Amino acid sequence: MTVTTPEDKKLMAPRRLTSLLDPGSLEFVAVQTEGIGAVSATGTINGREVVAFANDPSFQGGALGGAEGQVIVDAYALAMAKQCPIIGIWHSGGARLQEGIQSLKAFGDIFRVMTHASGKIPQVSVVLGPAAGGGAYGPALTDIVILGPEGRVFVTGPEVVRSVTGEDVDMLRLGGPEPHGRRSGVVHVVSETEEQAILDTRNIADLLGNKGSLNVAAVTDIDLGAFMPESASRAYDVHPIVDSILDPGTGIELHPRWAPNLITALGRFGGQSVGLIANNPLRLGGCLDSTSAEKGARFVRMCDAFGIPLLVIVDVPGYLPGVGQEWDGVVRRGAKLLHAFAECVVPRITCVTRKSYGGAYIAMNSRSLGATHVMAWKDAEVAVMGPVAAIRILHRRRLAEVPPENKDAVEKELAEEHKITAGGLAKCMELGAVDEIVEPSTTRSSLARALAAAALPDGTFARGNHGNIPL
């Protein structure tokens, strides 16, 4: 068992910044001095400049007062001036009680500069200890939140909860990986060790701050159809397809346990940073629901704000029906996804692999919402609903008169007729809803060509002009 001494804690903030930044690149801006519980520095990650700050847990548990607030506000001013990513290492017990309202003012100042920086420079938070009170809202206002094994995020601590509500809860259950990685969606990435949390932070900051450039020739084809089940009605895990589209070893899934029916991942594609969104039929059949719509909207806005193009892989049967969904705000939260895609200016390429039905067809970056390019596999179905469901509504009286032993055969015949009359992909091409039909084995190169065609003359991509958090 490793015992952390007070002297170890005193060195923790500088040591964490040193481990975060490239060897030899760290230059302190605000150094650790007696009575000030925050440190800031400049340095590089994979050769690209960043600004970083860290709370000092050795001084009153990293509680934040006026001096610490100024360190962070100054760090933001420097990052904005340099137009580079800023990274916060959070380990704070919240407001410093001895300073009273001054400590609350310090948090307010931090929240203001974070909001002004939103969508202008990448903001990444890594929580390596308690982040309480105002210290919880700091990370929540940033683009990406990584939680280390000792990280805990909560507005009110266990003792206050116990005294006010009578609930007996500890910090782990209140603000650890389970509540925030799976239930609340506050945390994007949960890391098993502090070292892994630092590595995840470096990788994400690199993807956001060092976007690279697209090399179409470097994108080789893989038969993505090999990852699909033989039966068109069988569920499957879309992760192998996502991993195969992105350059090997570059993908980082965000919110893997929160709303897992929709995958959101950052990675590289032909060397270019991209955001990838995919329905996952293994969870809820790939349906969209209120939570996944909100998850997708936040991700789309982040990528748009930083000029990171989007690849959208669609296999969606519709929105999840039910009273629970309506009460959970599927209309309000689903509208966020529509808004995010419709306002998006960054290139976004859609590929329909198996099906895209109903309102979810529109929401998953349809041409009518302004998708840059829409392609579909040759057997994909794009429709209001599946053919069997459609004919059960259109021909319900006729089907009611069919003997039970013949019903399956009649439904199959009517469904095939409906496919022809509805038009299928041919009708979609005629209407401009689908631009191209591609083979699963040539999807990667097709995506690369479509993305390259959408680049600006200098090889970069347009970016939106908005903050990251959708209201």
Catalytic residues: 133-134, 359-360
Helix (H) or strand (E) holding 269: strand 262-269
* Paired tokens of 376: 């579909």
Contact assessment for residue 30 and residue 40, using Cβ atoms and an 8 Å cutoff: yes
Nearest by Cα to 221 from 448, 376, 380: 448
Q: Taken in order 431, 435, 439, 440, is the CA torsion positive or negative?
A: negative
- Determine phi and psi for 355, rounding to 5 degrees: -160, 155
The Cα 459–Cα 439 span in angstroms is 27
The Cα 150–Cα 171 span in angstroms is 10
Contact assessment for residue 29 and residue 40, using Cβ atoms and an 8 Å cutoff: yes
Contact assessment for residue 124 and residue 142, using Cβ atoms and an 8 Å cutoff: yes
Name the burial class of residue 4, with classes exposed (0-12), middle (13-18) and buried (19+) by CB atoms within 10 angstroms of its CB: exposed
* Paired tokens of 203: 């990788």
Number of CB atoms found within 10 A of residue 137's CB: 15
DSSP state of 178: I
Beta-carbon contacts of 2 under 8 Å, excluding residues fewer than 6 positions away, are none
The Cα 254–Cα 263 span in angstroms is 8
End-to-end C-alpha distance for the chain, whole angstroms:
46
Which amino acid, residue 444? R
The Cα 168–Cα 358 span in angstroms is 45
Contact assessment for residue 382 and residue 356, using Cβ atoms and an 8 Å cutoff: yes
- Determine phi and psi for 465, rounding to 5 degrees: -125, 75
For the chain, the C-alpha Rg in angstroms (whole number) is 25
DSSP for 419-438 reads HHHH-HHHHHHHHTS--EEE
